[in-house]
Amino acid sequence: MIKRKISTLSLAIVFVGGTFLTSCKKYDDGGRHSRADNIVVKHSWKISSATDLEDNTNITSDYYGEVWEFTKDDEFLENSNKKGTYYFSVDKTKLIISKTNGGTDTYTIVKMKKDEMILNEKNEEELTLIEN
């Protein structure tokens, strides 16, 4: 009887653990959706490469010296100047930046890891950011 209870308990633990692990979806190129808030909030980022997806040209020079910061207070800063606020879509697949000038930039998160993030803006530009 005790072995059966232990076996049932073990099975339940495995089931709950498996459910938890599979519920944390991954981005296409790396990282987990469940970590989005924790990773972005804690870092400032340097744009290491940028590609114009319409003609596949390198446009990194357009972002030379640019540093983006996402604060714990949901503020978006560009080169230490507040440029707006940010938030994630409900499913954490998009990063939305509401700019102080009234514009909104929506990025699909391709990859989000502690030291690297890849964002795709409407299939027009793809930005690779690295921890600054």
> 41 near 70, Cβ under 8 Å?
yes
Task: Give the pLDDT band (50/70/90) at residue 41.
Answer: low
Per-residue pLDDT of 43-83, as tens digits, reads 899 999 999 999 999 999 999 999 999 998 999 999 999 99
pLDDT of 14 > 90? The answer is: no
Q: What is the pLDDT of residues 120-132, one digit of tens each?
A: 999 899 999 999 9
Spatial distance between the Cα atoms of 15 and 41, rounded to a whole number of angstroms: 32
Q: Identity (one letter) of the amino acid at 10?
A: S
- DSSP label at residue 8: H
33-131 domain in CATH 3.40.50.1100? Answer: no
Instruction: List C-alpha distances in Å: 91 to 19, 66, 87.
Output: 17, 28, 11
